[in-house]
């Protein structure tokens, strides 16, 4: 399946990245990350090792809102790139894994 990409302008990306930076500084995000669990592989990490991932990536029209960001490990974040959840699930099933790194 070929990924579909929207034409996202630089102003939108700049605004959403700024919102993400502000969201990372909130107590809500700090509590969410404090669990130390990656959203995708469910492995445990030190909270400071978890990154913020947009479930629907900004480049695909996602927003920096609480419902669209999750803590995840660097490995999952790097592998996921700009995939949508259904694309990620398909990728992991082809790899013979169920969401793990």
Are 55 and 62 in contact by the 8 Å Cβ rule? The answer is yes
Q: Give the model's pLDDT for residue 63.
A: 96
Q: Give the model's pLDDT for residue 96.
A: 77
CATH topology of domain 10-94: DNA Binding (I), subunit A (1.10.30)
Instruction: Give me the residues paired with residue 24 across strands.
Output: none
d(CA 76, CA 88): 10
Statement: residue 4 has pLDDT above 80: no
Q: What is the pLDDT of residues 35-86, one digit of tens each?
A: 999 999 999 999 999 999 999 999 999 999 999 999 999 999 999 999 999 9
pTM of the entire structure? 0.84
Statement: residue 9 has pLDDT above 70: yes
């Amino acid at each position: 399946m070929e990924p579909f990409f929207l034409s996202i302008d630089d102003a939108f990306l700049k605004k959403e990245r700024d919102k993400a930076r502000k969201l990372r500084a909130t107590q809500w995000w700090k509590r969410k990350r404090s669990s130390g669990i990656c959203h995708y592989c469910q492995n445990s990490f030190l909270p400071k090792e978890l990154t913020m991932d947009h479930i629907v990536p900004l480049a695909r029209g996602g927003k920096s809102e609480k419902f669209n960001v999750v803590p995840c490990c660097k490995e999952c974040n790097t592998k996921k790139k700009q995939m949508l959840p259904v694309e990620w699930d398909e990728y992991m099933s082809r790899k013979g894994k169920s969401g793990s790194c």
